[in-house]
């Protein structure tokens, strides 16, 4: 695959936030995209009302956009939460959310489901949280397998998420290996967010060269401000060229904070016309 064959999708939880959620799919379509992704779109409600789900599905369908990535519930994201699945007090909510997420993914044809791990809980031994995470990821993966979906695990950066323990490719891959081995599942993969990994000082070309065969999804933003490509220091033509030449064949999620109006933020995207 060459750079011009790369498929982008727009993260509608962080791009087009000038608009109400249900108007964002049409805005992405008007900007030339047929694929979008979302963080869990129903705040801290693990099991949304049917009419809210119907309204979202209708907005995606009438815009002609495919939802290619969806996050499981992650808690109060603006308040600093970054997932529920490793947190004993939130685990039941995560388990309740699995069926709602898989049902929405089935309706929308979404095959990548992002499971944020969760911040460390003071007073709970790390090993206890790790074991809970492995169990819950395996349960999520078995549910996702029913619709042919993959659960992806993401490394964040410790500057913005200081209590989130998965902050390197190595840590994410080790967790994924545990889930696959102990949970007996094979549909768990790595979400390579080049912004977070770059913020952590990883060699992004090396990550792509060594691990692209384990990527279940890729997301991008420029460093250090998390703006669109061209607003920071990353060489996206080189990076995305390497990604296009790698075994990874999936979408590249535009998960950045637009510097300026969202509709004007796509001009520096290599291969996007």
Ligand X SMILES: O=C(O)C(=O)CO
The residues binding ligand X (CB under 6 A) are 82, 154, 156, 193, 255
Rounded least distance, CB 221 to ligand X, Å: 9
Number of residues in the chain:
273
Query: How far is residue 246's CA from residue 231's CA, in Å, rounded to a whole number?
Result: 25
Does residue 153 contact residue 175 with C-beta atoms inside 8 Å?
A: yes
Rounded least distance, CB 154 to ligand X, Å: 6
Nearer to ligand X, 128 or 252 (CB): 252
Output 77-81 pairs: Cβ under 8 A, ≥24 positions apart: 77/39, 80/119, 80/161, 80/163, 81/118, 81/119
Nearer to ligand X, 120 or 131 (CB): 120
Annotated active-site residue in 106, 154, 202, 233:
154
| Helices and strands per DSSP (H, E), number in the chain | 8, 8
Q: Cβ of 245: how many Cβ atoms within 10 Å?
A: 14
Rounded least distance, CB 72 to ligand X, Å: 11
Nearer to ligand X, 90 or 154 (CB): 154
Annotated active-site residue in 130, 182, 233, 255:
255
154 assigned to active site: yes
Nearer to ligand X, 74 or 185 (CB): 74
Nearer to ligand X, 56 or 191 (CB): 191
Considering Cα of 94, then 98, then 99, then 100, what sign does the dihedral take?
A: positive
DSSP-derived secondary structure letter, 179:
H
Rounded least distance, CB 4 to ligand X, Å: 27
DSSP-derived secondary structure letter, 122:
T
Nearer to ligand X, 100 or 152 (CB): 152
Backbone φ, ψ for residue 23 (5° rounding): -95, -10
Residue listed under structure tokens 């998420």: 161
Backbone φ, ψ for residue 239 (5° rounding): -65, -45
Q: Looking at the DSSP assignment, which residues form a beta bridge with residue 69?
A: 37
Rounded least distance, CB 157 to ligand X, Å: 8
Rounded least distance, CB 273 to ligand X, Å: 27
Report how far apart, in Å, the C-alpha atoms of 28 and of each of 13, 56, 107 are: 12, 14, 20
255 assigned to active site: yes
Give the count of alpha carbons within 13 A of 91, CB side only: 16
Enzyme catalytic residues: 154, 255
């Amino acid at each position: 695959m060459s750079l011009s064959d790369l498929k982008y999708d727009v993260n509608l939880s962080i791009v087009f936030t000038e608009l109400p959620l249900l108007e964002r799919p049409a805005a992405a379509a008007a900007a030339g995209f047929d694929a979008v992704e979302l963080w869990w779109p129903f705040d801290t409600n693990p099991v949304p009302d049917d009419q809210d789900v119907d309204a979202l599905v209708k907005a995606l369908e009438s815009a002609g956009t495919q939802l290619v990535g969806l996050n499981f519930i992650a808690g109060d994201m603006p308040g600093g939460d970054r997932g529920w699945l490793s947190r004993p007090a939130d685990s039941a909510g995560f388990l309740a959310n699995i069926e709602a997420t898989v049902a929405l993914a089935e309706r929308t044809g979404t095959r990548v489901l992002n499971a944020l791990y969760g911040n460390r809980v003071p007073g709970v031994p790390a090993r206890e949280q790790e074991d809970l995470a492995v169990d819950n990821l395996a349960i999520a993966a078995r549910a996702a397998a029913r619709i042919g979906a993959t659960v992806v695990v993401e490394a964040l950066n410790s500057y913005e998420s200081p209590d989130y323990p998965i902050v390197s490719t190595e840590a994410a891959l080790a967790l994924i290996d545990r889930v696959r081995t102990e949970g007996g599942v094979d549909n768990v993969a790595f979400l390579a967010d080049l912004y977070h990994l770059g913020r952590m000082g990883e060699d992004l070309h090396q990550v792509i060269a060594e691990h692209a065969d384990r990527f279940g999804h890729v997301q991008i933003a420029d460093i250090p401000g998390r703006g669109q490509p061209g607003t920071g220091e990353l060489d996206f033509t080189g990076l995305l060229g390497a990604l296009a030449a790698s075994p990874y064949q999936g979408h590249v999620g535009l998960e950045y904070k637009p510097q300026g109006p969202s509709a004007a933020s796509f001009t520096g995207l290599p291969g996007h016309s």
